[in-house]
Structure 1
Amino acid sequence: MRLPARLLPAAALIPTAALLTGCFASSGSGQASADGDGSGKRIRVAMMLPPRSGLSPLSDDAFKLSRWSTAETLVTLDEDGDAEPALATEWKQSGKTWTFTIRDGVTFHDGTKLTAQSVVRSLTVAATASPKPRILDGVELTVKAEGDTVAVTTGTEDPLVPQRLSSPQLSILSAKAYKGKTVNPVGAGTGAFELTQINGTASATLDRYDGYWGGKAKAPGIDVKFVPDGTARAAALRSGEADVVEAVPVSQAALIDQDLITEVPMPRTNTLYLNTEKGVFKDAALRAAAREAIDAKTIVKGVYEGRADVAEGLLGPALPWAADLRDGTVQRAKAGDPDGTAITIGTFTDRAELPEVAQTLQQQLQKAGFKVKLDVREYANIESDALAGEFDAFILSRATVLDSGDPAAYLYSDFGSDGSFNIAQLADTAVDKALKKAADTKAGDARRQAVIEAEAAVLATDAAVPMLHERVIQGDAAGVVDVAHDPRERELITIDTYVK
């Protein structure tokens, strides 16, 4: 059992704090002046995960480039997931083709000009990569320059092309980024900060790019340190070694001045998936019995120390429109009597809280009359069994908004009859119909309503019992101004961020 944070001795943090001393010494070339209207101080950032692919935008490293405001995409997303202009100023659809007008007056960090051909090059590299960026998985996409516009054509009519092009994995870089065997973003972006140095998996340095089309950043630069150890990240905030800290562990949050931490709702739901195809939970009445037995409030309080939100549906507060659109009319089966029925629940160790969640669920379900066995392994060793339906139930922490910023893809993947991640083995005509409607509806209010209707159709089957929505705890030192708190983890240091 994990020792509560408040009982950890403060002395236990000293070694990791000492290891960080001096690790944020500035190595950038930016002038320590106030000519960006800030204080002239560089921003020291402690990030959780080191680069996995040398900061190639074709990998998940792309989200780091986005969070540092160094690489940009044609469009961005607003709070509701609607597309807004970035490197493209406007767009229009004609059947399978979307035409984007490229912003004039943009230069890359190497001084070259952004053109329609620049966009074609970056998007074509992404579309023909092996493997493709996740956002283009299953998508046939071709790109052609037409004057100062770019025509993006898909194999089938796709209402979400602008949202897809907001993915940091489709960042637009200058020609120099593509000269080697891998895509190298150093000095090749268009953002407010130029990436000037990558030190393997240890650190990165960025300097303000004064030619940024959106105006001059307030801070002269960013010094990034990759600190996988959560205790060390928390210690860096407590000691003043870092200005901004990603993902402070729940176990450390109580040891930090609460004015220095912000809990950001994540588009991630902790859900119990029930096997609807075979075994105990093929019976809808027993699925209902499992749902009624679960006390999510106890899990939030005991495992997450109150730093999570009890789920009202599959989509949580990171999607602020979801709660407003629900009407509370989901019709579910009546609960049956478990009567000592034996079930096996699987989960994984990679997320520290999940084994504890499993233990709590075991107690709750046994109290309701089930006999519960747990199977807990590393994710790499359990995923194939989960997807094959080898468990009666499976506990999963699942991102509900994937790269397009749209939850329809997650719902289809997890609950469509031919969904690629259908752990619940669900095959329901009403669900499939609702999912298709959501996928085919144009972006905007109508699509959001269709998504909520699809969520209701899934919940009516009790194939999945959403328990809680996770939060990420971000640490910001007292002098930090206007750092972003982004549920999608696309923004962190912006043009307006600086240290007093």
Structure 2
Amino acid sequence: MSVSPRRLRAGALALATLAIISTGACSAGGSGGNANGGAAKTLTVNTSFVLKTLDPGRVYEATGLTAVHALYDTLLTLKGSDVSKPVPALAESYEASPDAKTFTFKLRSGVTFSDGSPLTADDVVFSLNRLKNIKGSPAVTVSGLTVSKTDDTTVVVTSDTANPNVPVVLAMPSTGVVNAKVAREHGAKDGADAAQGDTAQQYLDTTSIGSGPYVLKSYDPSSQVVLEANPKYWGTKPQFGRVVLRNMDVQTQKLTMQRAEAAEISLDISGKLLDGLPDTLLTSGVQDTVYFLFLNADPAVSPVAANPTFNQALRAAIDYQGVAALYGKGAAPGAGLVAPAFAGALPAAEESKRDVARAKALLAGAGLANPTVKFTYPAITYKGVDLGTVATKVQGDAAEAGIKLELNPQPLTTFLDEMRSGKSALGFTPQSLNYPVADSLINNMAPGQATALRSGWTLDRADPAVVAAGKKVTETLDLAARAAAMQEWQRLMNASSPYIVLASNSSIVVATADLTGTDYTAAGWQVDLAAVGRK
């Protein structure tokens, strides 16, 4: 498993694979009309589209995940804002083997696809094998899994290695179950040749073949996506018969919500952008994003940045409370690499603290007089905050301790190229998880892993205690103990890793006051459209 972008929006980036997204214009359609005695029949969702496909086997971006979660059921799911405990969905129950390698799911009876045909274990096996074998962006989450059935209502998922997170993985929208018969008729394949032979995406971008509470009515990735309630849905019927997702830049979203009266949601207004909104609007959010500096541990790139004492001096120089204030509502000073939304986060009491006197003493003791490092960051705005403003704040903090940071703003693509090449002496980025399991960070940010190597952090440059702590996390099968192990790993990372966590920030759902069930979730789909109702 790896860390990768999942909730990217306009100008967003994540550490593993960053991408620039252009904001779309506000488009016509789908306002909350009135029917049935004044009750709105249409729910309008405003968001800056990050949308490439509605094919569940390929979906990876924010807008697609929101829609696919409403179109396709998964074996398990996550309810509301709680991402800690998967609950039954297509599977009425499941059992995990003591070694966390075998997971047996009992399918509930009476589930049908939107065309009325019954859902069976064959559909589940086909869907998960297709996800794995077409090798799209989300395939990494199931790369070590094997799927089979023992009968028409029992599915067995086997992991190559002990992995207690399999139930969470199987709640992700990319594991949504498709009607295998219809999918095959339109070019879908689930075998070893699926990466080359599967041609179903175009069909699945225009027609949904799931068992979810909604079906796809229309799809325009540049303007809007329309969903309609599935009349054959096996579960609790959604209150809204129609959902319209509109492509809208964040400033227009704010203006729209300032005058919205009923049945409207916006997904991209956060931080300082929340200022000035009417008090009558509902907001829901959790801190699911961390922002951190990364220093290069390779002396050939920067002998100053690679110096462990300079690392600790810079940590001590930063005003974490002041940095967090730049992000506005829902932000907090940094503690560890795990955002507070996820199990394993460090408690707020362990937030980093500033100590300029210590920073100066460390530099003096190491003979580092007026150390200078080039500080590279992408010149973008993310979640309403100009990253240049944060970089300038860090520069000023460091200067008070005698550290000179030379600001080097870059276009996003240039920043990405330099970061991937491992040539950035000091950089700055936000990060979110591709699924809500914090220990996936071990596979990417621990010494010797892909992201760490971009900062020159090889195993031979790492404290052996950090390596041992990461290994303990992956070997711990009890989830509570695993979370505790993650906390200890972060404490050791704070002591010697090339990452300096500045702050954590919240993603926010803004909704009109007449709505219920608009809880933001860090599970990937942002808000459960089928759970939204009227008061």
Identify the residue that residue 67 of structure 2 maps to in structure 1: 65
User: How many Å apart are 1:142 and its aligned residue?
Assistant: 2.6
User: How many Å apart are 1:271 and its aligned residue?
Assistant: 0.6
- Secondary structure of the equivalent of 1:59? coil
Q: 2:362 aligns with which of 316, 327, 335?
A: 335
State the number of aligned residues: 470
Q: Could you give the per-residue CA deviations for residues 464-495 of structure 1, whole angstroms, max 9, x where no partner exists?
A: 21111111232211222222221334252444
Contact 1:441 1:447 in 2 (8 A): yes
Contact 1:50 1:201 in 2 (8 A): no
Q: 1:142 aligns with which of 132, 140, 146?
A: 146
Q: How does 1:48-197 map to 2 (within 5 A)?
A: 48-54=48-54, 56-61=56-61, 62-66=64-68, 69-77=70-78, 79=82, 81-94=84-97, 96-136=101-141, 139-147=143-151, 148-175=153-180, 176-177=182-183, 179-180=186-187, 181-183=199-201, 184=204, 186-197=207-218
User: How many Å apart are 1:249 and its aligned residue?
Assistant: 5.0
Unpaired runs of 5+ residues, structure 1, are 1-15
Report percent identity of matched pairs.
22
Contact 2:331 2:504 in 1 (8 A): yes
**Residue 244 in 1 paired to residue 265 in 2?**
yes
User: How many Å apart are 1:50 and its aligned residue?
Assistant: 4.3
Identify the residue that residue 413 of structure 2 maps to in structure 1: 380
Normalization by structure 1: what TM-score?
0.85
- Secondary structure of the equivalent of 2:434? coil
Q: Could you give the per-residue CA deviations for residues 252-304 of structure 1, whole angstroms, max 9, x where no partner exists?
A: 42232133152512321011112223221322221111011111222222x32
CA distance in 2, matches of 1:384, 1:329: 30
Query: Over aligned residue pairs, what C-alpha RMSD do you find?
Result: 3.1
One-letter code of the match for 2:117? Answer: T
Identify the residue that residue 393 of structure 1 maps to in structure 2: 426
Q: Could you give the per-residue CA deviations for residues 344-385 of structure 1, whole angstroms, max 9, x where no partner exists?
A: 111112444222211111122122112221222233322242
**Residue 292 in 1 paired to residue 316 in 2?**
yes
Contact 1:58 1:170 in 2 (8 A): no
One-letter code of the match for 2:168? Answer: Q
- Secondary structure of the equivalent of 2:429? strand
**Residue 283 in 1 paired to residue 289 in 2?**
no
Identify the residue that residue 402 of structure 1 maps to in structure 2: 434
1:172–1:75: structure 2 CA closer, same or farther, 3 Å change rule? same
Q: 1:216 aligns with which of 229, 237, 240?
A: 237
Identify the residue that residue 349 of structure 1 maps to in structure 2: 379
1:354–1:281: structure 2 CA closer, same or farther, 3 Å change rule? same
User: How many Å apart are 1:336 and its aligned residue?
Assistant: 2.5
- Secondary structure of the equivalent of 2:243? strand
Identify the residue that residue 281 of structure 2 maps to in structure 1: 260
1:250–1:455: structure 2 CA closer, same or farther, 3 Å change rule? closer
Unpaired runs of 5+ residues, structure 2, are 1-22, 188-198
Moved more, 53-62 or 436-445: 53-62
1:367–1:306: structure 2 CA closer, same or farther, 3 Å change rule? farther
Identify the residue that residue 499 of structure 2 maps to in structure 1: 464
Moved more, 317-326 or 485-494: 317-326
Contact 2:434 2:524 in 1 (8 A): no
1:305–1:171: structure 2 CA closer, same or farther, 3 Å change rule? same
Identify the residue that residue 43 of structure 2 maps to in structure 1: 43
CA distance in 1, matches of 2:373, 2:87: 48
Identify the residue that residue 5 of structure 1 maps to in structure 2: none
Identify the residue that residue 16 of structure 2 maps to in structure 1: none
Identify the residue that residue 304 of structure 1 maps to in structure 2: 327
**Residue 314 in 1 paired to residue 341 in 2?**
no
- Secondary structure of the equivalent of 1:119? helix
- Secondary structure of the equivalent of 1:159? coil
Q: How does 1:343-492 map to 2 (within 5 A)?
A: 343-352=373-382, 353-399=386-432, 401-403=433-435, 405-426=436-457, 427=459, 428=462, 429-492=464-527
